[in-house]
């Protein structure tokens, strides 16, 4: 297991200070919104229609998160099945990183604690059954250490994805290994809907779950901690969540059990956020909730929708988490198409953009690529049109900072050519992960680009990071423009060749294999810290067309 220390950073706004400034900026913007009250933007059906007709109207973006979820529960994505050898599991994961590079993604969200188990040697929970088929069995290597190292080798962000409360996909505790905390403390769990869950109302379970997660944060070089939409379980017809006794014991001050349940989840989210930041303030914390907080018919602050509501069904007050600044990013699963009456993408994306803009929280939208595979999305351009619509929100001052696709196996399958269309229309160039102004920064220096020359099938660059060790870059961005003369606009995404992880030592090397023979180019390199703040560019180096 590895841990990367973080250098002391220059003074930065803390999250609360950033929220204060963000709220002031939003209040002065073109749309009406304050921290206390949100006025959702009016429906923009015309905008959605225009997006559907003009997918390629926007130039590629230099800064956006592009990610896919790699699911491990019931072996959805990785490992593809139980019983694979360690080498086979490693090879499969490298395939998913190949896919990420093929589609110009820059992050992966990998499920490492699907059912109160672990993809690393945890002292608190057993090895996951989805590795070997047997809970508690050592897979013969450290999967979390491997995936972090390999993702970083390709300069991809690695967000470790945890399911907080789910204990088992079955309801029989005897199927768990004897040392499982749910067997050791049977009073911590209850069964509901054919599954086992930790009781969110018990302080003991909250502490155990947080300790299990924080162990991995402490011992691995994670870029992010990620939760999905599972908090209290989704309702099952004819069943009642069996927490009346817990409410009687721990619900003092609450008349309504629903308010108490929301309080339990709020307390957990706030606490884990604070503890992550206390341990490693640069690690991002984000949640991907169900796409509807509340409908306007239930709450005037809600969206113009008519679907299920996370506030009422999972007791997840997702809007509050954003406004309180407990999250670095919110990643709502807006898994619906344009024009769907009960949950229209054209209504939900602006609603979430308004909420996120209030606090400056980054907004990544979860995209249902699997619905193209299943046939629910009939238009091959549906997802590409979503991204075009998101760019229009950017233009209105309510940024969408990226998109995440569920799930990995559907990306290379490319149903109806939908991901190829996203690639052609929006991801034709690489992109850098957006910087978060409130995270601790390192004042990286511009590199010294020593030379650029043709070498074999490409152009080799060499540069040095002359900064002292405390200010060394985590990675570098390489820019290229055609022609022998002139500056390079590093804000133009069309000039970004890609990013590369810093190698040990001062001298860095990179071969641009996309350079065309016979074309003259100009190159520049910038340094990036671990949270993607960028230095000024190096001096330009020229390569002739010989």
For 321, residues 6+ apart whose C-beta sits below 8 A from its C-beta are 266, 269, 287, 327, 330
Structural domains in the chain? 15-425 (3.20.20.80), 448-543 (2.60.40.10)
Local confidence band at 224 (pLDDT 50, 70, 90 cut-offs): very high
Q: State mean pLDDT over 155-182.
A: 99
Q: State mean pLDDT over 2-25.
A: 40
Q: Say what the pLDDT of residue 546 is.
A: 73
For 55, residues 6+ apart whose C-beta sits below 8 A from its C-beta are 381, 384, 385, 387, 388, 421, 425
More confident residue, 13 or 191: 191
Q: Say what the pLDDT of residue 35 is.
A: 24
State yes or no: pLDDT of 53 exceeds 90.
Answer: no
Q: Say what the pLDDT of residue 50 is.
A: 43
pTM of the model: 0.91
Q: Say what the pLDDT of residue 331 is.
A: 99
State yes or no: pLDDT of 56 exceeds 70.
Answer: no
Q: Say what the pLDDT of residue 37 is.
A: 23
Residue pLDDT, tens place only, 255-283: 999 999 999 999 999 999 999 999 999 99
Residue pLDDT, tens place only, 444-458: 999 999 999 999 889
Beta bridge partners of residue 459, listed in sequence order: 454, 512
State yes or no: pLDDT of 57 exceeds 60.
Answer: no
Beta bridge partners of residue 68, listed in sequence order: 108, 405
346 exposure class (CB count in 10 Å sphere: 0-12, 13-18, 19+): buried
Local confidence band at 506 (pLDDT 50, 70, 90 cut-offs): confident
Distance CA 501, CA 528 (A): 9
Q: Say what the pLDDT of residue 13 is.
A: 45
Q: What percent of the chain has pLDDT over 90?
A: 87
Q: Say what the pLDDT of residue 505 is.
A: 82
Residue pLDDT, tens place only, 118-127: 999 999 999 9
State yes or no: pLDDT of 218 exceeds 50.
Answer: yes
More confident residue, 448 or 16: 448
Local confidence band at 30 (pLDDT 50, 70, 90 cut-offs): very low
537 exposure class (CB count in 10 Å sphere: 0-12, 13-18, 19+): buried
Q: State mean pLDDT over 461-487.
A: 95
State yes or no: pLDDT of 52 exceeds 50.
Answer: no
Q: Say what the pLDDT of residue 504 is.
A: 85
Q: Phi then psi for 424, rounded to 5 degrees?
A: -70, -40
DSSP one-letter code for 478: E
Distance CA 52, CA 56 (A): 10
Residue pLDDT, tens place only, 277-320: 999 999 999 999 999 999 999 999 999 999 999 999 999 999 99
Picking from 341-350, 419-428, 462-471, 534-543, which range would have the lowest pLDDT averaged per residue?
462-471
């Amino acid at each position: 297991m590895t841990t990367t220390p973080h250098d002391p950073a220059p003074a930065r706004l803390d999250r609360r200070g950033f929220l204060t400034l963000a709220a002031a900026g939003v209040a002065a913007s073109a749309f009406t919104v304050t921290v206390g009250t949100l006025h959702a933007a009016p429906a923009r059906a015309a905008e959605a229609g225009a997006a559907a007709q003009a997918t390629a109207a926007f130039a590629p973006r230099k800064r956006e998160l592009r990610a896919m979820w790699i699911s491990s529960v019931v072996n959805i994505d990785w490992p593809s099945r139980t019983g694979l050898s360690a080498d086979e599991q490693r090879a499969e994961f490298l395939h998913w990183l190949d896919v990420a590079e093929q589609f110009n993604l820059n992050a992966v969200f990998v499920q490492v604690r699907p059912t109160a188990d672990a993809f690393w040697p945890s002292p608190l929970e057993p090895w996951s059954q989805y590795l070997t088929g047997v809970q508690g069995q050592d897979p013969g290597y450290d999967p979390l250490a491997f995936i972090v190292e390999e993702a970083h080798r390709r300069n991809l962000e690695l967000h470790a994805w945890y399911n907080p409360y789910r204990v088992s996909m079955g309801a029989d505790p005897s199927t768990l290994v004897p040392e499982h905390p749910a067997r050791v403390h049977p009073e911590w769990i209850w069964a509901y809907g054919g599954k086992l869950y930790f009781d969110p109302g018990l302080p003991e379970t909250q502490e155990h779950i947080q300790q299990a997660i924080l162990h991995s944060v402490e011992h691995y070089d994670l870029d992010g901690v990620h939760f999905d939409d599972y908090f209290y379980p989704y309702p099952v017809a004819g069943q009642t969540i069996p927490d009346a006794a817990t409410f009687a014991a721990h619900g003092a001050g609450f008349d309504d059990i629903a308010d108490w349940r929301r309080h339990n989840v709020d307390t957990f989210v706030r606490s884990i956020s604070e503890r992550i930041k206390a341990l490693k303030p640069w690690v991002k914390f984000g949640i991907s909730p169900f796409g509807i907080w509340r409908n306007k018919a239930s709450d005037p602050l809600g969206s113009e929708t008519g679907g299920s509501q996370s506030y009422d069904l999972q007791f997840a007050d997702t809007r509050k988490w954003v406004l309180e600044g407990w999250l670095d990013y919110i990643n709502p699963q807006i898994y619906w198409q344009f024009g769907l009456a009960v949950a229209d993408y054209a209504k939900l994306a602006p609603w979430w953009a308004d909420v996120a803009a209030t606090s400056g929280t980054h907004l990544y939208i979860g995209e249902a690529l699997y619905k193209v595979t299943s046939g629910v999305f009939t238009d091959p351009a549906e997802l590409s049109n979503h991204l075009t619509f998101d760019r229009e929100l950017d233009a209105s001052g309510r940024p969408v900072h990226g998109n995440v696709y569920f799930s990995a196996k559907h990306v290379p399958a490319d149903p109806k050519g939908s991901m190829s269309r996203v690639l052609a229309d929006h991801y034709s160039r690489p992109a850098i992960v957006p910087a978060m102004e409130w995270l601790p920064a390192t004042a990286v220096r511009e590199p010294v680009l020593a030379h650029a020359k043709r070498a074999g099938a490409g152009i080799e660059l060499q540069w040095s990071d002359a900064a002292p060790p405390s200010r060394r870059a985590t990675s570098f961005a390489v820019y290229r423009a055609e022609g022998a003369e002139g500056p390079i606009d590093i804000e133009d995404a069309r000039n970004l060749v890609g990013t590369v992880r810093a190698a040990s030592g001062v001298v860095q090397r990179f071969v641009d294999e996309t350079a065309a023979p016979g074309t003259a180019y100009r190159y520049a390199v910038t340094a990036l810290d671990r949270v993607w703040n960028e230095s000024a560019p190096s001096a330009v180096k020229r390569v002739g067309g010989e």
